[in-house]
Chain A
Amino acid sequence: MRRPHEPAPLALATPAPPGAEVRPAIAHVGVVPARRPARPWGLLALSAGVAVVLVAPLVFLLIEAHGAGTSTILHLVFRSLTASLLWNTVRLTLVVTVLCAVIGTAAAWFVERTDLPGRPVWAVLVVVPLAIPDFVVSFGWASLSTWVQGFRGAVLVMTLAVYPLVYLPVAASLRNADPGQEEVARSLGAGRLATFWRITIGQARTAILGGCLLVALVLLAEYGAFEILSYQTFTTEIFTEFNVSFNIPTAAALSLVLVLLSFVVLAGEGLARGRGRVSRSGPLAQRVAPRRRLGRWTPAVLIGFTVLVGLALGVPVGASIYWILESGHGYLTGVSLLDSAWHTALYSATAAALATMMALPVALLAVRHRGRAYQLLERSTYLVLAIPGLVIAFALAYFSERYANGFLYQSAPLLVLAYAILFFPLALVGVRASLAQAPPGLEEIARSLGRRRLAVLWRVTLPLVAPGLAAAFSLVFLSAVTELTATLILIPTGVQTLATQFWAYQQNLAYGQAAPFALAIIAIAALPSFLLGRFFDRLPARTAAAT
């Protein structure tokens, strides 16, 4: 069989056009230069298509900004409002990120490395807040006390809502770290504390930084929680400009600054990560690190965990239940609850499937085919991380309205596409981690046993990465269910999802009617969270840390 890009034998007779490869002519003499490995054209085309879709919102944004005129944009950017937004956004991001790093790492260390009583239960309870949307946490607190407002409210609420993003990768990394390294450090004369700082934290560093990166990006993109707490950031301002005042140039200008901030965060994480590699010598040891005895500290740590879970989980859930009971009669929201739950599930599942399918070719290309171009292509898809959901929604909406005659504007496909773009990096992480673990030798053997490429993909590769595909699906599904900002902008007319209906009631201060929707979101999001916990449990540290 010839490969498609090999010159056909017939072509040898005709003189090669200028600039064409001269290989065929030489081949006749029998001196063939070293062949390049076959290029995976199909995968390349698919991945390039995915990359184009992903980068599209950024391009749209630039087009919008360009349309508004450079001087207008500059004028809008350099004014006192921008400075105050910048100050609000940056100080909140810094404080919450540091708090999350401390709480997440400490919780992970206690669960993974000490004899804390009830560890399996804590391991679940500590992660569950991930299933509670930030705006629900915010609602829970703000509806109970007026003290929770502004900066202090935002710090409290966001820390409680997003610290699991640090906990998860750090716990996976601690669990899989080579305990031998700590033992060697002790035997080389390092004390307990020194060993903890230099080895334990060192091993978990990549994971901690990865978690902090996610926290910072979430904070930059958050809208609902801050709106409830009356805390003004770039995102809330952009939302107001776009959705309320229809002031497109201002929204575009502020979006540019926000995207720039995200790039700064991404670059900062890259620099902090440095060249250090967390590796273990030899194969993954079956040996588990010995657990530190807490002894007389046990009660204090237990109280700490109880308080953490109580604040992060108990307050939002408790507040929702309280408001349902408080309203007493209940507005018989049954029908609209079911209807919006159906739409939430439908859009989220479709987006999850789409994002997972988009991630597969990119991951295959990056993991199975070595080459700078392929890696660059994969990297380019991570650009999406720096684009907040609001900006993606805003870019897609504006573009479809302005340049596509409103085609697809406020339609289900556009919302699903926005979700898929927004959460693509999450899908890629899941698929990639699984694929990196599946030995490529298996695919070669399958081929030498007489199976064609597609059959091998179907019968060997896909079953091997199935857990990763499931994880990718769950991750995107979970994120889409709890998404509010982009949904508010792109939701099809006349349709409500759980999040938008909750938001509508909440805006009207109808807490009793909003609360059942909050609980429904938590219930739908809980299952994927649980599955994800299982997936990350089994993943070796180096792949988990790559999040």
Chain B
Amino acid sequence: MSGLAIDNLHKGFGEHPVLSGLNLQVPAGSFTAILGPSGSGKTTLLRLLAGFERPDRGSIAIGQRTVDGEGIHVHPERRRVGYVPQEGSLFPHLTVAANIGFGLPRKARRGRVGGLLELVGLADLGQRYPHQLSGGEQQRVALARALAVDPEIVLLDEPFASLDAHLRARVREEVQQILRRSQTTTLLVTHDQDEALSLADQVAVLRDGAIVQHAPPQHLYTTPIDGDLARFIGEANLIEGLFDGTLVETPLGKLPAHWHGDPAPTPCPVIVLIRPEQISVNPVDDSAQPAGRIARTRYHGHDMILDIQIQPEHQPSPLLARTLGDAQLVPGQRVTLGIRGSVLVWPDVHAVAQPDGTPVHRARSSPDSVRHRREPERAP
């Protein structure tokens, strides 16, 4: 059964298109995160789902019911959508209990509100007013208020962004557990990849008004569809290589590689994704040829990010490597590098053929050209 089905959704404001042909299927009872940079149309999508805006084109079905489509627009009050905005937006003139009971018929309030207060762990605070609650408590009340009407789907609009860092992790956890217990289909909108990956069963990435990839968190992290996406959901080294079907030749040597999608013609110029934690860094001993030099270290406590300069002629920008925080590594040190596991490769669409027929990478003036290039979109 589908919890949410969005088909070819278009929405623009004036001349400016925000969503252009967005498709998304969300299974009932799942926790899905919509991940996108600011300005990608995340909030517009939620407002369309809640019925605060009308789509220009396309359809939305929540549960078994089409709520937006050809000649159909169900008003917000009839959608049974639980909307939890960024600031919680509790009604300041109502107590916590009255906030939670707002959407309930008078008779149902008494019994249901108590249960919901318990569900969100605020059983004693029913008679408080919103300004007497902490930020985390306010978020939980907002959630209980949304759940009170027994919604088909709960929409969370960056609900943790306004919380302090130390509070955020705890509230996230609590909210996730409450929603799992209530088994409600949940859509979380966020620009924080860490939040999306750690909370959701499924992550859909929103870019340029459409979903570019929709996959479980682990799959998304290990197999993003292109370099931009790889960088967006974590730190990534993107280097050039030549792929022969099983191995890819790179400035770091021949690495085992995998390819996602249609079989590749070989040999094939490719972009190689190496996550920083795939690189092991060892101080050089005399016998081995050093692979590079540490240009910079960034210490984060639990781990450390190293900028490693390798063969400048092939790879002008430094590689990022992640090591444990206790590693005894300092800038200037010479190191050897090892690559753990298989690396992901995509065809390098900007490669051109040389006169002899061997395809090579197009000369690039700046290493940033990798970062700013858009790969063709492919279905997940």
A33 contacts chain B at the CB level, 8 A cutoff = yes
Question: What are the interface flags for B163-189 relative to A under an 8 Å C-beta threshold, 1 for contact and 0 otherwise?
Answer: 000000000000000000000000000
A371 CB → nearest B CB, Å: 13
Would you mind naming 30 contact pairs between A and B with Cβ atoms under 8 Å apart?
A1-B74, A2-B73, A9-B71, A30-B57, A30-B70, A33-B56, A34-B12, A34-B13, A439-B87, A441-B87, A441-B89, A442-B89, A444-B76, A445-B83, A445-B85, A445-B89, A445-B145, A447-B51, A448-B51, A448-B52, A448-B79, A448-B81, A448-B82, A449-B145, A449-B146, A449-B148, A450-B78, A463-B91, A463-B94, A464-B93
Interface residues on B, range: 35 or more
Q: Is A450 a contact of B77 with CB atoms below 8 Å? A: yes
Report which of A9, A441, A450 forms a contact with B85, defined as CB distance below 8 A: A441
B22 CB → nearest A CB, Å: 16
Q: Is B89 a contact of A439 with CB atoms below 8 Å? A: yes
Q: Which residues of A (463-478) have their CB < 8 Å from a CB of B?
A: 463-464, 466
Q: Which residues of A contact B71 (CB under 8 A)?
A: 9, 27
Q: Is B103 a contact of A449 with CB atoms below 8 Å? A: yes
A13 contacts chain B at the CB level, 8 A cutoff = no
Q: Which residues of B contact A2 (CB under 8 A)?
A: 73
Q: Which residues of B contact A444 (CB under 8 A)?
A: 50, 52, 76, 83
Q: Which residues of A (424-461) have their CB < 8 Å from a CB of B?
A: 439, 441-442, 444-452, 459-460
A32 contacts chain B at the CB level, 8 A cutoff = yes
Q: Which residues of A contact B85 (CB under 8 A)?
A: 441, 445
Bound together, the chains give a CA A446 to CA B102 distance in angstroms of 8
A31 contacts chain B at the CB level, 8 A cutoff = yes
Bound together, the chains give a CA A499 to CA B149 distance in angstroms of 56
A35 contacts chain B at the CB level, 8 A cutoff = yes
Q: Beyond A33-B56, A35-B56, A450-B103, is A1–B76 a contact (Cβ under 8 Å)?
A: no
Q: Is B77 a contact of A452 with CB atoms below 8 Å? A: yes
Q: Is A1 a contact of B50 with CB atoms below 8 Å? A: no
Chain A's closest residue to B13 (CB) is: A34
Q: Beyond A1-B78, A445-B83, A449-B77, is A34–B56 a contact (Cβ under 8 Å)?
A: yes
Q: Which residues of A contact B80 (CB under 8 A)?
A: 450
Q: Is B12 a contact of A449 with CB atoms below 8 Å? A: no
Q: Which residues of A contact B51 (CB under 8 A)?
A: 447-448
Q: Which residues of B (6-55) have their CB < 8 Å from a CB of A?
A: 12-14, 50-54
Q: Is A449 a contact of B74 with CB atoms below 8 Å? A: no
Identify the B interface with A (CB < 8 A): 12-14, 50-54, 56-57, 70-71, 73-83, 85, 87, 89, 91-94, 102-103, 145-146, 148-149
Identify the A interface with B (CB < 8 A): 1-3, 9, 27, 30-35, 37-38, 439, 441-442, 444-452, 459-460, 463-464, 466
Bound together, the chains give a CA A35 to CA B115 distance in angstroms of 42
Report which of A9, A35, A442, A451 forms a contact with B103, defined as CB distance below 8 A: A451
Bound together, the chains give a CA A441 to CA B87 distance in angstroms of 10
Chain A's closest residue to B93 (CB) is: A463
Report which of A35, A447, A459, A466 forms a contact with B75, defined as CB distance below 8 A: A447
Cβ-closest 7 pairs across A and B: A449-B103, A447-B76, A463-B93, A448-B76, A441-B89, A448-B83, A450-B103
Q: Which residues of B contact A37 (CB under 8 A)?
A: 53
Q: Is B89 a contact of A451 with CB atoms below 8 Å? A: no
Q: Which residues of B contact A34 (CB under 8 A)?
A: 12-14, 56
Q: Is A32 a contact of B77 with CB atoms below 8 Å? A: no
Bound together, the chains give a CA A33 to CA B82 distance in angstroms of 29
Bound together, the chains give a CA A460 to CA B92 distance in angstroms of 9
Chain B's closest residue to A12 (CB) is: B71
Q: Which residues of B contact A446 (CB under 8 A)?
A: 91, 102
Most chain B CB neighbours (cut-off 10 Å) among A30, A32, A445, A466 = A445
Q: Which residues of A contact B149 (CB under 8 A)?
A: 449-450
Chain B's closest residue to A456 (CB) is: B77
Q: Is A32 a contact of B145 with CB atoms below 8 Å? A: no
Given pairs A32-B57, A452-B77, 9 additional interface contacts (CB within 8 A):
A1-B74, A2-B73, A27-B70, A32-B56, A441-B89, A446-B91, A446-B102, A449-B145, A464-B91
Bound together, the chains give a CA A451 to CA B106 distance in angstroms of 13
Q: Which residues of B contact A32 (CB under 8 A)?
A: 56-57
Report which of B57, B75, B77, B92 forms a contact with A464, defined as CB distance below 8 A: B92
Q: Which residues of B contact A452 (CB under 8 A)?
A: 77
Q: Beyond A439-B89, A464-B93, is A448–B57 a contact (Cβ under 8 Å)?
A: no
Q: Beyond A448-B77, A449-B102, A451-B103, is A35–B54 a contact (Cβ under 8 Å)?
A: yes
Q: Which residues of A contact B102 (CB under 8 A)?
A: 446, 449, 451, 459
Bound together, the chains give a CA A524 to CA B90 distance in angstroms of 38
Q: Which residues of B contact A447 (CB under 8 A)?
A: 51-52, 75-77
Q: Which residues of A contact B79 (CB under 8 A)?
A: 448
Q: Is A1 a contact of B75 with CB atoms below 8 Å? A: yes
Chain B's closest residue to A9 (CB) is: B71
Bound together, the chains give a CA A452 to CA B51 distance in angstroms of 13
